[in-house]
Amino acid sequence: MKDIDIDAIIVTTSTNLHTEIILKACQYKKHIFTEKVLALSVEENEEIWKAKMESEDGIQCSVDGFVTETNGKRVSMCGRRIKKRLAW
């Protein structure tokens, strides 16, 4: 992530690793695309949101990841909160 020639990253790891990777990418001011769910909890989503606002770079999460049948209500709640923040 320290490479200044890399502007963006794509996070395709297990969801439990998303927050750590995204926060590190924020430190290096990278644009981020992540699939599946953004994070496992509302608190992690808030932490990511704060870090991205401070870094002023973009983040995008695939929309189909906000609510999935296997992840259930908790993911749906996180997704709704993110969507509300993004004014979708």
CATH code for the domain of 24: 3.40.50.720
pLDDT at 29: 87
Q: What are phi and psi of 25, to 5 degrees?
A: -65, -35
Gap between the Cα atoms of 5 and 81, Å rounded? 33
pLDDT at 42: 84
Owning domain of residue 41? 8-85
3-state helix, strand, coil in the chain (%, to 5): 50, 10, 40
Assigned domain for 62 exists: yes
Assigned domain for 36 exists: yes
For residue range 29-76, what is the model confidence (pLDDT) as tens digits? 888 888 777 888 888 888 988 888 888 776 766 655 443 444 444 455
pTM reported for the whole predicted model: 0.66
Assigned domain for 1 exists: no
Contacts of 5 by beta carbon, 8 Å cutoff, 6+ apart: none
pLDDT for 12 beyond 90: no
Assigned domain for 81 exists: yes
Assigned domain for 24 exists: yes
- How many domains is the chain built from? 1
For residue range 13-23, what is the model confidence (pLDDT) as tens digits? 888 999 999 99
